[in-house]
Amino acid sequence: MKIGFIGLGRMGRGMALNLCRKGFKLMVYDINPTAMQDLVSAGAQGGKDIADVSRDADVVITMLPNSAIVLDAIAAPHGVLANARAKTIVMDMSTVAPEVSEQLAQAAIDRGMSFVDAPVGRLASHADRGESLFMVGSSPEDFERVKPLLEAMGTTIYHCGAPGTGTRTKLVNNYLAIVSCHLYAAALTLSQKFGLSLERTLDVIHGTTATNGQLKIAWASKVLKGDTEPGFTIDLAHKDLTLIIEAANSVKVPVPAAAAAREAYSIARARGFGTRDFSAMGDVWCELASAGKARLKNTD
């Protein structure tokens, strides 16, 4: 298959590199020319623009920051649908509003193409190692066609149903992940203010139902080691919470925890933390409470 890949940010770069390593023929594009250099070095062809990437591809993958950018890249006159061939699969792996996924699915059908939404779970470090998790919304036939690509980029793949179901599943997952990140920020700040041993506090938490992967895996490898380089940023977490609240409102499901967490992330952004990893919420809350930053003594 000829693959077009649009969007080589922190997640997309690792995903595209794994496709190259597994022998897929790629043409890539990003608005930042330097983002394409690693891919070209790995054997991919650099595209001039979105239209160039789309013309001869069997599958066009997009991995982009938000709904507006995805709509522009896929549905605008210069975008994928206007330039790709009939029977091309457009696979959007971004986290967007569910109605955007459904709108693009219909637009693809109208042009004789098909659409797959396959948002990504886990961290950027997992994407680098080819260990991502994918939540896929597609027809059964399209799922089988894109499955080899997903297997090259990840280890865990769930077919959630028709187009739009992958996106909705991602919002449910991120609701829990992002809200729990906010909760742990407050909890560990309280631990710091109490003067407790962070190591002993974590031993207790991990021995009860209070723990989850957010604290045990993500925080242990990021903020608790003093590393807040972005894998998934506070800005993106805030964006996803907005999507979650709007999608929940559309089906009349109250999500007060998401609303409260979004305001916490708003505070973090106002204090200049927007581009930091979302585990940096731990540092934000310690700063607000004038507490020492929560750091593990042994960070090896």
Q: Determine the pLDDT at residue 183.
A: 95
Do 121 and 147 have their domain in common? yes
Ordered DSSP codes for 23-65:
T-EEEEE-SSGGGGHHHHHTTPEEPSSHHHHHTT-SEEEE--S
Length, in residues, of the chain: 300
Do 77 and 46 have their domain in common? yes
Integer-rounded Cα radius of gyration of the chain: 20
Domain assignment present for 207: yes
Q: How far is residue 88 from each of residues 31, 53, 103, 181, measured CA to CA in Å? A: 23, 12, 17, 38
Do 9 and 150 have their domain in common? yes
- Its domain, for residue 216, covers 168-288
Do 25 and 144 have their domain in common? yes
Do 157 and 175 have their domain in common? no
Domain assignment present for 260: yes
Give the domain-ending residue among 119, 144, 163: 163
Do 62 and 117 have their domain in common? yes
Q: Determine the pLDDT at residue 247.
A: 96
Show Cβ contacts of residue 223 under 8 Å, excluding neighbours closer than 6 positions. 277, 279, 280, 281, 282, 283, 294
Give the domain-ending residue among 163, 197, 213: 163
Q: Determine the pLDDT at residue 135.
A: 98
> What CATH number does residue 154 fall under?
3.40.50.720
> What CATH number does residue 237 fall under?
1.10.1040.10
With beta carbons less than 8 A apart as the criterion, state whether 32 and 48 touch: no
Do 258 and 276 have their domain in common? yes
* Tokens (6 digits) for 259: 């609303």
Which residues carry out catalysis?
Answer: 170
Output the tens digit of pLDDT for each of the chain's 300 residues. Answer: 899 999 999 999 999 999 999 999 999 999 999 999 999 999 999 999 999 999 999 999 999 999 999 999 999 999 999 999 999 999 999 999 999 999 999 999 999 999 999 999 988 889 999 999 999 999 999 999 999 999 999 999 999 999 999 999 999 999 999 999 999 999 999 999 999 999 999 999 999 999 988 899 889 999 999 999 998 999 999 999 999 999 999 999 999 999 999 999 999 999 999 999 999 999 999 999 999 999 998 754
Q: Is 195 left (phi over 0), alpha (psi -120 to 50) or beta?
A: left
Domain assignment present for 294: no
Domain assignment present for 297: no
Do 257 and 277 have their domain in common? yes
Do 19 and 147 have their domain in common? yes
Q: Is the dihedral of CA 63, 65, 67, 68 positive or negative?
A: negative
In the chain, the number of structural domains is: 2
* Tokens (6 digits) for 100: 């955007």
* Tokens (6 digits) for 110: 């109208």
Do 15 and 150 have their domain in common? yes
Give the domain-ending residue among 131, 163, 195: 163
Do 117 and 130 have their domain in common? yes
Do 172 and 87 have their domain in common? no
With beta carbons less than 8 A apart as the criterion, state whether 2 and 55 touch: no
